[in-house]
Chains A and B, each alone.
Chain A
């Protein structure tokens, strides 16, 4: 069960079809279709509250998000019904928009538990070497080794910590939920370099972002735009520049969506039209 499936037999492909998701009885995603072929980098953009994090958390299996329709397939098999840690063991990684602090648990202990969980324990020396090297690459102080995970970290430090974990855990599919937000210029470049590095190793990446900045470093194979729980537009890298220039207004109008945020929510909630 824990032996890694051979890529040839089951390509690391993510296939989402007709996905509908509810949170506490409220419908947030209303039929998402999205495919991420092995090794490709896709960007997911869209206005605040459009459901990007919801999609990310649902792929990972957060218990709060209830799938009411559609499917999420990975390597040709459904992920639905697996716990988040089982999905992690299938090679999926989610860098959270708001990483949680766990007081009293050091980075070292946390990562060792993670590797153990993934069935990839390393000898202590090799492990420490790897983590130290990643800290240097991310220009983070070695003191982070023994600091409690995300506890009293600055916003940017939390994001770098997510990238460090991504590098150590080496998943097959990485979902980065606004990992670029709150990063300074240097850090942004480092993160982007990190993504490019893993990209060359055939890792699929879904970058959720609001900004062109990171995509200047990492050119996405495809860009998807979400609004009101749907993917309203998909295209090549050129879409990013267009959004930067024009904002979302024209796309929203083209999709028949109002641009007033309050009404947008009303649509998402399925309330009768204003």
Chain B
């Protein structure tokens, strides 16, 4: 199973990047000049330029949507709004440039054509470079081209419908798309024509930081039929990319339009699509939507219960998160996600904080351009040395003293010994000192502190006040405490390791800041005399892991730990011939401590850190958390609720959406039907599959206008849960203003039944395969509608989602 899973991930066949292939690329960023430039290069008519510029104004004016996902990670000025990969649009395969061909070869497009598909229109960057349409469709008068060609060659039809379903001022992203749109599909089906084979287009996001703003316009004249399929993939390691499409569908009286989407985005693609259809009298519109849906292991996440490795964070845990006002708040984790090993990078700041993350993981960054400094969320791949990233400064002190386990306090010796019941500053100072320079034997504890050391008196005072131990002996630099109970006590509370194996026990991380500070001070007192000409103190150990632990608690306590450095020396043992290499690490502590909740530190370096298993958290509301003392952002979001406006009497709308939520994922799907005309009908069906900690949510919105009598609608949500833990929620929202309306709402939740699995097993089908087969069966009504190669792709994705579900 493990082997198979690995192969599947390696096989993410769209995860390649061809290097940028383009003939022309507009300036990065958004301005009226860039928009005018795009329009000029496309030789557009003046009305389109006017439309674009007006849309740009709307875009500037509209606020960011406050609903749904957090989009603060987006920087509109860091995106190329127009990239044209080749001078001419190829019509036959031979004319397509070789590099682009290679991409298509790998995407399987030529095969798709051989499979007698009606038209293949593949979007590479912003232009459709390859496009073919079957001769018989052309004869029927069906137009299928990219949107730019549609505008050029059929200006009257284009102008009549363009922007009528989704006006430029509909929402911020529709406005953005209207200003800079490029490519996409234009489909026109004349009266009475049935297009029997699905028309399909592949979309890809290839260039880094390159938004795709395709525009799709589908017009189905009276009594016609067409099925359009959109499939999406993005290279797995593309940087933050923005996909903001607009899809407009006009179904004239009696027409039937079906629109299918399959999403296979990498999780770093912003996908903000506005999709809307208008259905006239007796027309039928169907939306079919399939949604398939990072930091390295060991990264320490700051929660309100102390500090945890990221792999141990669970949904429901509260983590420290930064508010827009730069204060700290505890926010619940909604979902966690584990990713298969991917290339990672280690980012180090001047203040010596470091984190290992994938190149798409966003950090709160301060970048200087000229004399202006921009605050923005930037993916690691976009961060440059010299940029400043946000670090945690003074954190809320949510720690509590720890109650020491009773067993540790029971004296089993005649020597006088008592132990404190809870941790205190004094105890932590002592333990810090012990970790810095102590060692433990069965019946005694030895602390290395010369008689002349200023700390000596405090050590002895601590022994007396904490444990009632007055008697110690001295052997050179060693202060010996002959007390078996003290030795057992230290062991019982988790400080047992030898010099190399010493680590801080888990409970330390949840202590109040003062106690953490006392611990570090104790360590410094044992180990870190202030050296001449050095303003920083340092502590050292042979164990780097221990120093990382100390660094973490120092950050938690609002101190300023700096770098951990390494030095080694060769030493010959007095009696042996053997020469040994001794390695030491030191943690330097800065004098300057932060006094604000957040501060910024320059990026010193970003280096490859190999392929590693990574994790991601989705944090509610504020969508960020603190990892290794650095402020990081959630992973990306997808929002796309297609809608249908039923405008003519007798029109019918149908929305089918399918969502998978694998381990730790949260999938949001939904649809909207607005009944404006009387006697209109609609069906909204959602099918969701959740596994493990996966969670699916469905938001259905049904609206019936006052004059729309005789409306009939069915809302159906089927959820399939693969185990006890999985969850599925539905949020039906109904807004009905007319009477004489029939609305059915049905929600089913089924579990993959033990009996179903057993039945399959009696026929020789193993459990894992049985589960995948049952899931496939569950979404069959959806798959049935797809052409072969999509079905195959979907099955592969299901297999990926299923991996590890059993055994």
Contacts and interface: CB of A to CB of B under 8 A. Distances in A.
A183 B799 CA distance: 39
A109 interface: yes
Quick one: which of B762, B765, B773, B780 has the most chain A CB within 10 A? B762
Interface string A159-182: 000000100010000000000000
Interface in A160-215: 165, 169
B756 interface: yes
B764 interface: yes
A85 B777 contact: no
B764 A102 contact: no
A143 B102 CA distance: 43
Interface in A68-84: 83-84
A62 interface: yes
Contact of A100 (B753, B766, B773, B779): B753
B777 A84 contact: no
B760 interface: yes
Interface residues of B, number: 23
Interface in A56-94: 60-64, 83-85, 88-89, 93-94
A85 B764 contact: yes
Given A84-B758, A93-B762, A114-B765, A109 B778 contact: no
B767 A83 contact: yes
Contact of B761 (A85, A104, A148): A85
Given A117-B766, A148-B777, A84 B761 contact: yes
Contacts of B778: 103-104
Contacts of A105: 773-774, 776-777, 780
B779 A94 contact: no
Interface string A90-119: 000110100110111100011101111110
Given A100-B753, A104-B779, A85 B767 contact: yes
Given A105-B773, A105-B777, A100 B761 contact: no
Given A63-B754, A102-B756, A96 B777 contact: no
Contacts of B781: 104
Given A113-B769, A113-B773, A102 B763 contact: no
Nearest to B762: A94
Contact of B773 (A64, A94, A99, A109): A109
A117 B768 CA distance: 11
B341 to A, nearest CB: 30
B759 A99 contact: yes
B755 interface: yes
Contacts of A116: 765
A117 B770 CA distance: 10
A148 B774 CA distance: 11
Contacts of A62: 758
Contacts of B755: 100
Contacts of B756: 100, 102
Contacts of A64: 754
Contact of B760 (A94, A102, A103): A102
Interface in B730-784: 753-756, 758-767, 769, 773-774, 776-781
Contacts of A104: 774, 776-781
A118 B764 contact: yes
A100 B754 CA distance: 10
B746 to A, nearest CB: 15
Contacts of B762: 60, 84-85, 88, 93-94, 96
A85 to B, nearest CB: 4
20 contacts: A64-B754, A84-B761, A85-B767, A88-B763, A100-B753, A102-B756, A102-B760, A103-B780, A104-B781, A105-B774, A105-B776, A113-B765, A113-B769, A114-B763, A116-B765, A117-B764, A117-B766, A118-B763, A148-B780, A169-B763
Interface of B: 753-756, 758-767, 769, 773-774, 776-781
Among all A-B residue pairs, the 3 with the closest Cβ atoms:
A104-B777, A104-B780, A84-B761
Given A84-B758, A118-B763, 13 more contacts: A85-B762, A85-B765, A88-B762, A93-B762, A93-B763, A100-B753, A100-B756, A102-B756, A102-B774, A104-B781, A110-B773, A117-B769, A169-B763
